[in-house]
Amino acid sequence: MQSYDTLILGAGTVGLSIAIALARRGRRVVAFDPHRPPHPFGSHHGETRMLRVLYSEGVAYTTLALVARETWMALESEAKAQGVLPEGRVLFHPVGVVGIMSADAPEARRLEQARREYNLSGGPCESLESRRRFPHIAVSTGEIAYWDPFGGILESDLCMETMRNMAEKLGVHFVFGGPLADISVKARAARVTWDTQTYEGEMLVLAAGAHAGAVLRRYFPEWQAPVVPVRKAVAWFPSVRPVSPDLPAFYCYDGDHAFYGFPDMGTGYKVGQHDGGEPCDPGALDRQFRDRDATPLEAWVRRRLPLASPRADRGQVCMYAMTPDDHFICDRHPCWPHVYAAVGLCGHGFKFAPALGEWIAEEIADGRERQELRLFRTRRFA
Tell me which residues touch ligand FAD (CB under 6 A): 9-15, 32-35, 37, 41-44, 46, 49-50, 180, 207-209, 211, 215, 232, 234, 272, 318-321, 345, 347-351
- Quick one: 5 exposed, middle or buried, by C-beta within 10 A (0-12, 13-18, 19+)? middle
Contacts for 77 with CB less than 8 Å, ≥ 6 apart:
none
CB 141, min distance to ligand FAD, A = 28
Helix boundaries (H) for the chain: 13-24, 59-81, 106-117, 127-133, 156-169, 212-219, 291-304, 353-365
- With H, G, I as helix, E, B as strand and everything else as coil, classify residue 307: coil
Q: What is the b/e burial string over 62-93, where b = at least 16 CB atoms within 10 angstroms of the residue's CB?
A: bbbbebbbebbbebbeebbeeebbeeeebbbb
Beta carbon of residue 228, minimum distance to ligand FAD (angstroms, whole number) = 13
**Is 39 or 131 the residue whose CB approaches ligand FAD more closely?**
39
Residue nearest to ligand FAD (CB): 12
CB of 203 to ligand FAD, least distance (A): 16
Give the largest Cα separation in the chain, rounded: 66
Q: How far is the CB of 85 from ligand FAD (least distance, A)?
A: 19
Cβ of residue 36: shortest distance to ligand FAD, in angstroms?
Answer: 9
Taking the complex as a whole, the smallest distance from the CB of residue 243 to ligand FAD amounts, in Å, to 20
Which one-letter DSSP state was computed for residue 371? G
Q: 10 Å Cβ neighbour count for 348?
A: 19
Residue 373 CB, shortest distance to ligand FAD, in Å, is 15
Closer residue to ligand FAD in complex, CB, 108/330? 330
Q: Which is nearer to ligand FAD, 34 or 58 (CB)?
A: 34
Query: Whose Cβ is closer to ligand FAD: residue 10's or residue 354's?
Result: 10
Which residue number, 36 or 241, has a Cβ lying nearer to ligand FAD?
36
User: How is residue 239 annotated by DSSP?
Assistant: B
Closest distance of CB 41 from ligand FAD, Å: 5
For 36, 159, 169, the CA distances from 39, given in Å and listed in that order, are 7, 12, 20
Judge whether 329 and 208 are in contact, CB under 8 Å.
Answer: no
Report the distance separating Cα 74 and Cα 21, nearest Å: 13
Nearer to ligand FAD, 47 or 143 (CB): 47
Kindly calculate the radius of gyration of the chain based on its CA atoms and give it in whole angstroms. Answer: 21
How far is the C-alpha of 147 from the C-alpha of 53, rounded, in Å?
10
Q: Closest CB to ligand FAD among 268 and 347?
A: 347
Q: Which is nearer to ligand FAD, 44 or 136 (CB)?
A: 44
- CB of 88: closest distance to ligand FAD in angstroms? 23
**Separation of alpha carbons 272 and 260, rounded Å:** 6
Least separation in angstroms between CB 151 and ligand FAD = 10
Q: Which of 167, 135, 86, 73 is nearest to 355 (CA)?
A: 73
Nearer CB in complex with ligand FAD: 28/35: 35
Whether the CB-CB separation of 117 and 214 falls below 8 Å is answered with no
CB-nearer residue toward ligand FAD: 131 or 274: 274
